[in-house]
C-alpha cells in the first residue's frame, strides 16, 4: 500500500499528532470514517449535510494492519478528501468512525487515539463504533431495521423503534465471518482440495485457484494459506472466483453461495428475534459491503434467504453508502452539541 501523500503544508493549522482541543475554528465540519478489511473511506460533510469531499485508502481493519498502518491509511484518505474539497485540512467538529474489529473498548480507544493523533479532531470529538452502525444509518437512511455486511468479513446489526440494538456475527475469519469474502474464498479452496483427493465432485474452481496463486500443483496451495491478516485478504480475493464460477453454472460454487447467503440470513433472523419489531408491518433489511454490492447474483441469493428466514422482511437497496452513514451520525452529534 502506498504511503500517504506528502502534504505536510496542508497541516500547518492542524499538524498530525497534535489534535486540537476546544471548539475548532472555521465552519463546522462533520467527518465520517468507514473502515473495513479492504479499504478506509473518509467523508467530509458541512453543516447543511452536503458532502465536501471523499477520500479512500487501504485497509481500515485494526486487527489486520495494526495501529500504525491504520493511522497512515486514515491520514491518506483524510488528505484525499480535503484535496477533493479543494481546501486545506482543518480540525473537525465531530467525527464518527464506523470500523471493523472494534468489538472491545480497548480497540475502540485505540482507534479513537489514532484518529486524534492524525489531527482530524480532538479526542473528545471522536466517536468509534462497529462498522455496522454506519451501514445501518446509511443503508436505511437513519431508519430502524437490519443491516447485513458481506465484505471481506461479515456481520449483522439491527435497531428497533425504541433504539435498542443487537449484533449477530462478526466474530472474525477464524471463528465466523460466514458468507463474507474470506469465508467464500476459504470454501472455494476446500472444494478444490476435496475435488483433488477424491472426496468431492470436480469443480472449475480447482483450475481457477491454481491460476490465481500461480501454482502448478494443488499441494502447493497450503504454504499460500495461513492465519495472518495478509493471508486473510488473499483468501478474500478468491471470492470473485466463486461468484464468476457460479454464474457459469459450477455446482460447487453455486452451493457455496447458497450456503453463504443462508448463513447471513440466519444472522438477520437472530437479530430480528432479539429485537422488538412486533409493531412494524415490515422489517427493512439492507445488504451492504463490497461483496454484496458487487455481485448482483449473490445479493439476490441473500435477499431470497432473508425473506425465507425473517417474517415480514423487505429487502431494500442501500439509500446511502456506509461512509455516508458514518458522516450522518457525526453530523447528528455535531447538531446536538450546538
| SS3 per-residue string spanning 194-249 | HHHCCCCCCCCHHHHHHHHHCCCCHHHCHHHCCCCHHHHHHHHHCHHHHHHHHHCC
| DSSP string computed for 104-131 | SHHHHHHHHHHHHHHTSS-GGGEEEEEH
pLDDT band at 14 (very low <50, low <70, confident <90, very high): very low
Say if residue 184's pLDDT is above 50.
Answer: yes
pLDDT over 90 at 174, yes or no? no
pLDDT in tens, 238-262: 999 999 999 999 999 999 999 999 9
Distance, CA of 148 to chain centre: 10
CA atoms of 281 and 302, how far apart (whole Å): 21
Helix 205-213 vs helix 181-196: crossing angle, to nearest 10: 110
Q: Which option is the CATH number for 143-318: 3.40.1280.10, 3.40.50.460, 3.40.50.720, 3.30.420.40?
A: 3.30.420.40
Number of neighbours of residue 147 by Cβ within 10 angstroms = 31
pLDDT tens track for 29-60: 999 999 998 899 999 999 999 999 999 999 99
User: What are the boundaries of each domain within the chain?
Assistant: 8-138+322-336, 143-318
Question: How crowded is residue 28: how many other Cβ atoms within 10 Å of its Cβ?
Answer: 18
8-138+322-336 and 143-318 in the same fold? yes
Strands (E), 36-77: 40-46, 51-57
Q: Among 1-5, 119-123, 184-188, where is mean pLDDT lowest? A: 1-5
Specify the fold of 8-138+322-336. Answer: Nucleotidyltransferase; domain 5 (3.30.420)
Q: How confident is the model at residue 207 (pLDDT cuts 50, 70, 90)?
A: very high
Q: How many residues does the chain have?
A: 338
- Judge contact between 155 and 267, C-beta under 8 A: yes
- Residue 13: pLDDT above 70? no
Amino acid at each position: 500500500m502506498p504511503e500517504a501523500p506528502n502534504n505536510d503544508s496542508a497541516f500547518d493549522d492542524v499538524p498530525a499528532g497534535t489534535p486540537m482541543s476546544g471548539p475548532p475554528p472555521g465552519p463546522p465540519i462533520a467527518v465520517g470514517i468507514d473502515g473495513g478489511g479492504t479499504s478506509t473511506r473518509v467523508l467530509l460533510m458541512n453543516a447543511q449535510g452536503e458532502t465536501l469531499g471523499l477520500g479512500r485508502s487501504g485497509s481500515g481493519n485494526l486487527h489486520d494492519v495494526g495501529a500504525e498502518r491504520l493511522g497512515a491509511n486514515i491520514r491518506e484518505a483524510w488528505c484525499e478528501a480535503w484535496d477533493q474539497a479543494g481546501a486545506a485540512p482543518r480540525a473537525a467538529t465531530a467525527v464518527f468512525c464506523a470500523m471493523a474489529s472494534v468489538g472491545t473498548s480497548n480497540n475502540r480507544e485505540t482507534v479513537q487515539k489514532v484518529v486524534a493523533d492524525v489531527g482530524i479532531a480532538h479526542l473528545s470529538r471522536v466517536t468509534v463504533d462497529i462498522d455496522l452502525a454506519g451501514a445501518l444509518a446509511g443503508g436505511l437512511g437513519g431508519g430502524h431495521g437490519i443491516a447485513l455486511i458481506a465484505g471481506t468479513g461479515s456481520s449483522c446489526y439491527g435497531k428497533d423503534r425504541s433504539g435498542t440494538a443487537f449484533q449477530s456475527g462478526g466474530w472474525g475469519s477464524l471463528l465466523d465471518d460466514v458468507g463474507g469474502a474470506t469465508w467464500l474464498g476459504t470454501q472455494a479452496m476446500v472444494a478444490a482440495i476435496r475435488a483433488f483427493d477424491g472426496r468431492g465432485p470436480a469443480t472449475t474452481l480447482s483450475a481457477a485457484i491454481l491460476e490465481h496463486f500461480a501454482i502448478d500443483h494443488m499441494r502447493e496451495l497450503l504454504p499460500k494459506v495461513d492465519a495472518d491478516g495478509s493471508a486473510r485478504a488473499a483468501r478474500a480475493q478468491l471470492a470473485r472466483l466463486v461468484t464468476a464460477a457460479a454464474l457459469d453454472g459450477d455446482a460447487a460454487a453455486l452451493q457455496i453461495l447458497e450456503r453463504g447467503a443462508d448463513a447471513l440470513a440466519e444472522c438477520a433472523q437472530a437479530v430480528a428475534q432479539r429485537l422488538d419489531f412486533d409493531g412494524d408491518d415490515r422489517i427493512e433489511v439492507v445488504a451492504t459491503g463490497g461483496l454484496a454490492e458487487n455481485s448482483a447474483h449473490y445479493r439476490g441469493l441473500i435477499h431470497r434467504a432473508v425473506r425465507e428466514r425473517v417474517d415480514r422482511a423487505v429487502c431494500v437497496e442501500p439509500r446511502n453508502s456506509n461512509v455516508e452513514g458514518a458522516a450522518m451520525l457525526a453530523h447528528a452529534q455535531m447538531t446536538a452539541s450546538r
